[in-house]
Structure 1
């Protein structure tokens, strides 16, 4: 992101959060029936308000950050996150897990149960347990309501200080350097108070996160192993990664997590194939190295890997061959992988791409339909099937599938993009621009979204049910835009 964009987003977040403090205080003053929140953060924000701000910030991120809309990786990260949430305590909000394409090591959580992971995190985690320890830590930040508690802590200070610090909270977790610059404009005493409060939050997130990690079945030592290795690697770095700016790792914190882990029996670390396949996919497609560099890394890893996970690196090589149009090499690897892993979504997704590239999409359709009998309504399989149907000019079938898909997965840009494409192929301009309008809304581009649905209504038959549906959506979008803009007033 450019410096100009960072300043613009910082300004948006400043007004967003300044308004949130006033709104939260007013709601608290007018409420006689406070929710049971399990923390001391109720005086600043309610759970519903947190969800509202989380949704707003997620839309800003979609517009400003390289969010990875990869169906297989999204499914993997979400599956891991939901397993951990199922074993977490004090869960009071739905969770959303997503990836940002960034080689820097970082993870952050914000209002409304949103947890972001940088793709670079996969490059430094050696096991799924290590990755899970970071996700569990971020889940704890949400369940313990640390952002709201930071706001409450600062609510004891002057309004000017509140506004300045609150404006930096969400910015610092996503863009630490820009956030630190924002904080330096505030009073020195408040800075130290915020840092101390953050450090106590980090220790609490470690403790609560480790409990979640253990309940989910992971080795408790995964957390101190990852933290210790990260601290050692960047101990003398002049520019530490973003994760260490927002999650400082002083020696006592590492010692605490190690002592806590030692209180539990160690569990054998069993290599998880899906974790290594996700890592291989990220190396092949999302770290910005050329094909030769990616192949070299994958080959070296395959040579030293345990037999159980060698398939992950063969899969990564197949992706590199596929992306560089070496289809015969890709096919040889993927056919063998399919025999070994017949219902693996990583492999099925790659086979779909292969068959599209080879102009044999009907083979991919059969594979995906067979897999959906075993895993009905699976989002990765459905979005691949929709793509394959469009490639075969079976647009009516694709539309039927995608209408159901977007209803179940309204925040997935892939569904709306393909739905717009299928409608365009059918010459249905009204529904094409309506689907495009949903994409604009996901990124808080409210005016373009409303314009799209206005155009869709004009293209519809006068007085038709379709026109009425588009008009109703315009009313919804106007309300959402007003709510979003009200955060800046």
Structure 2
């Protein structure tokens, strides 16, 4: 029974978590496949599954915990969410370090994108078109509706389907194999249902793209270029393997996008700066190759985005310890745009590399007066305090930061580090326990808090806090295990 249940889940999940971005020109052609999925899971249950899977991803995937990158993709994603229909859950956007072109969405408003998208999306509108499609999968509750459809076609109960979800969702590539293991009729029915989901996601995605002020034609432009680039490739990217882009699908998306007026948008500097950061640090190429990419790409680009290429070069020089060259570029960039978080973050790293953390501290204190409690500035400020050996102040800053941003591993890592420097072993253990809990390592997290409780003074507020957190983690662990 379990084996059959897993196969059913693989079928519905492989379709929803891997995008095909099909678009159809006539919305009247769309079938009525419902909107609420109320017979499957509640929104609260979906959020519970999403949180559990996110913890699994943190422990198994190379998630990019870069505060500057995260600030950009979060801003872009929520700009789209603000213009989407049927939003019923908070959204979380994150990036996985992977050169393959892909993005996927899952329960609880989580949207993942691969860093490889920045290697191929030439504008912010193109990247936004991918996110808009994934946001629509969530707002239309396609995964829950696919589960409901499978439950109608099989003896498996909804509870059995949901109970195997985490196991199946952790390996969505197995969905392709699962299709071949089922009957032809059932497989074809599932494929047809999936195509209906894709049509709906594309329709809502293009509409969201337009409402958010992006160029709707970016979607067919992006897919046309991908199809042309990989037409004769022996190993196409996963997205094209699971959902090919034949000409009629691209034509349909172009027809739908042409219903909207053309937008002549200036290049987005935040997008270009993020792209430069990904090339410099997350593309898996050495410094020489990265500098060559900046030189070649700049020659084909608008002069208006020259600063983005200089920023990328500055990061390459910084990471390869060519500090004078990095400083020359960053000084010029900050003079033009002194409040830019990309530049402030890099200059902070430069000052620390030059063993002048007090300069970073002064610079960031001034920036925080303009933009108080900003995550990028705050995490850099805490790091500069630790480097300046002002660990007591760093702890105070990080306690507030982790309260405001409890899912950011950076904050907990720095809090652990600052407490270790101060000899606060119990607080060090508590911070490390939070990191483990975010990665679903419940037992070790509970073990660390138990050790912290033993170290704390008997009957103290600290011991009471640790014991209360142990109870919370045990309850979270039990809920997590029940999902499996």
Regarding TM over 0.5, the answer is yes
Map 1:84-123 → 2, pairs under 5 A: 84-123=80-119
Deviation at 1:309, TM superposition (A): 0.6
Residue 307 of structure 2 corresponds to which residue in structure 1? Answer: 311
Map 1:330-369 → 2, pairs under 5 A: 330-369=326-365
Deviation at 1:160, TM superposition (A): 5.1
Q: Deviations over 1:18-51 (max 9, x none)?
A: 9xx9xxxxxxxxxxxxxxx971411111111100
Report if the CA contact (8 A) 2:68-2:341 is conserved.
yes
User: Unaligned regions of 5+ residues in structure 2, if any?
Assistant: 14-32
Q: Deviations over 1:183-238 (max 9, x none)?
A: 43333322222222221111111110111111110111111111111122223333
Distance 1:424 1:208 in 2: 50
Residue 326 of structure 1 corresponds to which residue in structure 2? Answer: 322
2:78 to 79, 82, 106: 82
Residue 478 of structure 1 corresponds to which residue in structure 2? Answer: 474
Deviation at 1:173, TM superposition (A): 7.2
Residue 252 of structure 2 corresponds to which residue in structure 1? Answer: 256
Report if the CA contact (8 A) 2:457-2:463 is conserved.
yes
For the residue of structure 2 that corresponds to 1:115, the secondary structure is strand
2:447 to 423, 426, 451: 451
Residue 28 of structure 2 corresponds to which residue in structure 1? Answer: none
Distance 1:223 1:99 in 2: 20
Deviation at 1:308, TM superposition (A): 1.5
Deviation at 1:339, TM superposition (A): 0.6
Report if the CA contact (8 A) 1:419-1:432 is conserved.
yes
Map 1:109-188 → 2, pairs under 5 A: 109-159=105-155, 176-188=172-184
Deviation at 1:269, TM superposition (A): 2.7
Instruction: Please say which of residues 351-360 and 152-161 is displaced more in the overlay.
Output: 152-161
User: Do residues 374 (structure 1) and 373 (structure 2) align?
Assistant: no
Query: CA, structure 1 residues 180+83, in 2 after alignment: closer, same or farther (shift >3 Å)?
Result: same
Query: CA, structure 1 residues 478+436, in 2 after alignment: closer, same or farther (shift >3 Å)?
Result: same
Report if the CA contact (8 A) 2:166-2:483 is conserved.
no
Distance 2:159 2:176 in 1: 15
Distance 1:412 1:187 in 2: 44
For the residue of structure 2 that corresponds to 1:437, the secondary structure is helix
Deviation at 1:14, TM superposition (A): 4.8
1:289 to 279, 285, 291: 285
Q: TM-score, normalised by structure 1?
A: 0.90
Residue 48 of structure 2 corresponds to which residue in structure 1? Answer: 52
Q: TM-score, normalised by structure 2?
A: 0.91
Distance 1:167 1:473 in 2: 27
Query: CA, structure 1 residues 96+246, in 2 after alignment: closer, same or farther (shift >3 Å)?
Result: farther
Distance 2:225 2:170 in 1: 23
For the residue of structure 1 that corresponds to 2:136, the secondary structure is helix
Distance 2:127 2:213 in 1: 13
For the residue of structure 2 that corresponds to 1:108, the secondary structure is strand
Query: CA, structure 1 residues 218+169, in 2 after alignment: closer, same or farther (shift >3 Å)?
Result: farther
2:298 to 295, 302, 327: 302
Q: Deviations over 1:128-184 (max 9, x none)?
A: 000000000000000000001110111112235989987997778775533323443
For the residue of structure 1 that corresponds to 2:152, the secondary structure is coil
Residue 215 of structure 1 corresponds to which residue in structure 2? Answer: 211
Q: Deviations over 1:356-386 (max 9, x none)?
A: 0000111111111111111111101100100
User: Do residues 419 (structure 1) and 403 (structure 2) align?
Assistant: no
Residue 408 of structure 1 corresponds to which residue in structure 2? Answer: 404
Query: CA, structure 1 residues 312+475, in 2 after alignment: closer, same or farther (shift >3 Å)?
Result: same
Distance 2:8 2:405 in 1: 27
For the residue of structure 2 that corresponds to 1:402, the secondary structure is helix
Distance 1:126 1:321 in 2: 24
Aligned alpha-carbon RMSD (Å): 2.5
Distance 2:150 2:43 in 1: 19
Distance 1:173 1:304 in 2: 41
State how many pairs are aligned: 462
Query: CA, structure 1 residues 152+135, in 2 after alignment: closer, same or farther (shift >3 Å)?
Result: same
For the residue of structure 2 that corresponds to 1:98, the secondary structure is strand
Distance 1:230 1:165 in 2: 35
Distance 2:400 2:241 in 1: 42
Q: Which has the higher contact order (CA 8 A, sep 6+)?
A: 2
Query: CA, structure 1 residues 287+173, in 2 after alignment: closer, same or farther (shift >3 Å)?
Result: farther
Instruction: Please say which of residues 242-251 and 429-438 is displaced more in the overlay.
Output: 242-251
